[in-house]
Every structure is written in C-alpha cells, then in structure tokens.
Chain A
C-alpha cells in the first residue's frame, strides 16, 4: 500500500491529524497493556495490598497464590478440563467446518444455497436465547452433567462462522487446480485434505482464533449443563467469585492471569497467519 500516513512530507494539517491519532492510539495501547500488567502483578500481592495500594508493585514475588489456587482451589483440574473441552471442540469445529465449507463452496448441487443459509442462520441466532430447548435436548440425550453436552454445544457455536469464513475463502481458489488433480486421479477426499486445506491455512487460523477465544472463555453453557466439580471449567471456577461480598482478589487475579495464558500464546503463535487470513479475502 502506498505511503499515505507518513509524517514526513505531510502538510501541516495532516501532521496535526497524525499526531492526534498517534496520541489516541498510544492511549489505547496503555489502556490495554496496563490492565494486563496490573492483573499479573496483583496476583503476587495480598488482597489487603490490592485494595489499599492498587498501583504499587508487589513486595515480593512468591508463587504462593498460584499454588493455592492451582492445588487447593482445584483450578489445576479446571484448567485441564478447559483445555480438553476447548481442544476437542476446536478439532471438530475446524474438521467439520472445513468439510462443510468445502462441500458448499466447491460443489454445485441443488440445495447448495439453502445449506449455506442453514449455517449462516447459526451466526445470526443467539445460542444463549435457546438455553431452555437446549436443556431439553441435552436432557433427552441423557447428557446432563456430561462433558459431551458442553463440547457439542461448543461445536455448534463455532461451526457457522467457520463455514462462513472458510467457504468465503475456498470460493476464491481457482477451479483449474482441482481439475488438474482430478485428472491425475486424486479422490475428492485427497483434493480436500491435500490441496484445498493447505491453501486455506491462513483462513483456518482466523476461524480458529475467532472461535477458540469465546469457547475458552465461555462460562454460560458449562454453568448450565455441568454440576460435578470434576467437570467444571476455568471460567466456571472464576465465575464463582462473582457476587461474593468478601472477594479474595489475590486468588481471583491469579486465576485470571492463568486463564489468559493459553489464548495469549495461541494468538501470538497464530497472529501472523490470523492477520493474513483476514486479508486473504475471507472477509471481503
């Protein structure tokens, strides 16, 4: 792209505009970094300290709070459950989502648009408003207090946007590629898995982050469908701090700091592809 926002060579009015914008954006950066920083340092402080001197640095860095919450409060188990639930759900979201996107984007058949609309409507229809019938469905499937209920709902949550993003991209892949492979005797499954999927990787990164974050952070469905402590997830464990009158802020901040690590890692790891995926025409 050309150099429209270079400070040098800009007219005085534009210089002022650029300075103003830089100020706004730097303020926003501070507003992002500070809470993150504050959250992590607070995890090393005592509740008393957090309340009385919220800006101060901790006196010492001991991992006492981390041990307490990980072991005594059972967050170790919640963390593993969250990893397991999110991991399972995301594997199926990407697998089934890319398959469906491939089927819809690369085959012409009657009902094609209707199927696409089915997935699209899933983006528009808020799943939380469906909690009563979902409860009925899960109950009749005998999946109450069973991790599968939450995982299935998570998959349903992630599929529509994944199909939307991936099919949008797959439509832009030239048909010759596929025809050439077909002439070489590739089966449809191999075309999907070895030709289309690798090209689609940036869009898959986009769909993964777009869906893994809300799934990892969701506390609504695990709260509704899970009762046993052994199946609880990290956000559910954290939500138990809501509305308490004497919140243990030190432990809460420790839990919050633990909870953001996997998503931060995922994002840093994928951000290059993620941004490429956005630009690749998944969202035009």
Chain B
C-alpha cells in the first residue's frame, strides 16, 4: 500500500518537476560545465585543439593585453557594484519606506516608478545617449540654469563616463528595489510599529531599530541581485558607449571584454574561445562565490519575530 503510494508520489513529482528541470539543466547548467571544459583547451577559431590545462587562465592573468584589460574591466565592475549598492539601493529603501508609510501620492508613485524598467535597454541607451551628448538636452538644461561650469562630455570624458552610464542604469532600475522594499515593509506586522509608536519612538528609530532589522531577507535578495547585475553589465555599456568600452576602455566591463574575446577583436581579431571561456568561468565563480558570501553574511543578521 505505502509502496504503491510512494511510487505514485514519485511519479507526480517527476511529472511536475522534470520538464522545467530538464530545460534548466540543458540550457543553464550544462553550458556552465562546458565553459569549464572549453577553458582547458586551446582553440583555433571554432575548432577545439589540445588540452592545455590552465594556460588560458595564465594568459588572462599575466599575458598582454589581457591582464591589463581584465584588471581594468574588473575595476569598472567594482565601481558598478559600489555605486549601485550605495545609491540605488539606498534610494530604493528610502522610497520603499516612505511609500509604505503612506506619503501623499504613494499609490501613483509606486505605479510610475516601475515604468523605466519596462523600457528596452536599447531605448534607454539611445534616449539618454542623445540627452547626454555634448550639445544634448542635459547640457543645454544646465546652461539654461546658468551652470555652464557643470556641462561636460558626459560619455566622452573617460573619468566620468562609467559613472554616467551607472547613473542612467540607476534611473532605469531604482523602481525595482523600491517596490521590493515597499512590500517587505508593508509586511512588517502592524503590532511592531504600533507598539513602537506608543513607546514614542521617532521616525529615525522606527526605521533603524524596528523596520530595518525585520526586512533583512529582502535586503539579502536585493544585494545578491545587485552583485549578479554588476558582474554582468553588458548591454548598458554596449548601447551607450560601445563594445570597446570607449573612450579608451574607460567604460569597459568584464561583460564587454568577454563579448569581444568570444566573438573576436581583442588581440588578433579572431574569436578566442579558450580565453573567452576562461573569462566566463571567472564570471561564474565570482557571481556564485560573492552571492553565497553575502547570503551567509546577511543570514547572520536576520532576526526572527
């Protein structure tokens, strides 16, 4: 009897889970292992050569021009992470908090704030690319306000180009953490906040002592998504600056470097599958490793009600 029931249960589980799991396995997990496999071989265009161990990784970390490009690109990814984490997620938590606490117009705000996410990255790239041209809307607006001194080549000046693209990306995405934090704060039990109010806490204490500790799980999710997003920046740079991370690699990221390597144009102009795969493996390892660390770190900060 129980055996038959167990079989039946196993059959149902298989029926429900197998199709999805199979697709994820074939199109996500298998490519991961194939990247690892590919990174151990030398490649002549698209034809696999002999096994060369860690030679591709060595070339990436020590050979010209990869070492320099890789370090430069990774540095930019770090900028993406730090600025996004500090600006976008702080804004998101602030917006989410005040929306959840019923600031005037909160219903309209929360609907509008998500609209930029709906724009395709191509639209974002073109629109803001146009606005940020030396003679574009942003600069003419600044001149109009009498602040000529602030006008600059937002995307042409290597020292600020990356930050410009990050700012546009924050414009596009801030609604997402806002809504996630808003709903997390909505879910904080009313007893907690009401009791705190009766005890006479001010808004600051309410936020830092009561609400913040209770929404740690959503902070974890947003942090992990920020890490993943920052390590995988590609389209933003591609559409606003270009594949080579102009000017002079100032906006280059691992994503664009990977693309140039895999499809050819870094060293000799031919696709470098071996080194491209090595970059992919490093992207995987970093994403996985850092996400895991931050999950473990924030897990330790979680409080149970």
Contact = CB atoms under 8 A, between A and B. Distances in A.
A207 interface: no
Contacts of A226: none
Contacts of B273: 132
Contact of A264 (B95, B118, B197, B217): B118
Interface of A is mostly: helix
A187 B27 CA distance: 32
A241 B126 contact: yes
Interface stretch (A21-29, A57-65, A72-80, A173-181): A21-29
A122 interface: yes
Given A125-B287, A284-B187, A55 B137 contact: yes
A157 to B, nearest CB: 8
A37 to B, nearest CB: 11
B187 to A, nearest CB: 6
Interface string A119-132: 10111111111111
B101 A5 contact: yes
Contact of B218 (A1, A239, A284): A284
Contact of A1 (B15, B102, B113): B102
A283 B217 CA distance: 8
A129 B118 CA distance: 24
A264 B38 contact: no
Interface string B237-262: 01100100000000000010010001
Interface in A98-122: 99-100, 102-104, 107, 109, 115, 118-119, 121-122
Contacts of B98: 5, 18, 21, 25
Interface of A: 1-7, 14, 17-18, 21-22, 25, 28-29, 31-33, 35-36, 38-39, 54-55, 96-97, 99-100, 102-104, 107, 109, 115, 118-119, 121-134, 136-137, 152-153, 155-156, 159-160, 163, 188, 192, 213, 216-217, 219-220, 235, 238-239, 241-243, 249, 252, 256, 259-260, 263-264, 267, 271, 275, 278-279, 281, 283-284
19 contacts: A2-B194, A4-B193, A5-B104, A6-B102, A99-B16, A99-B17, A104-B17, A115-B21, A119-B21, A121-B288, A129-B35, A129-B280, A130-B35, A131-B262, A137-B27, A216-B120, A220-B234, A263-B118, A264-B115
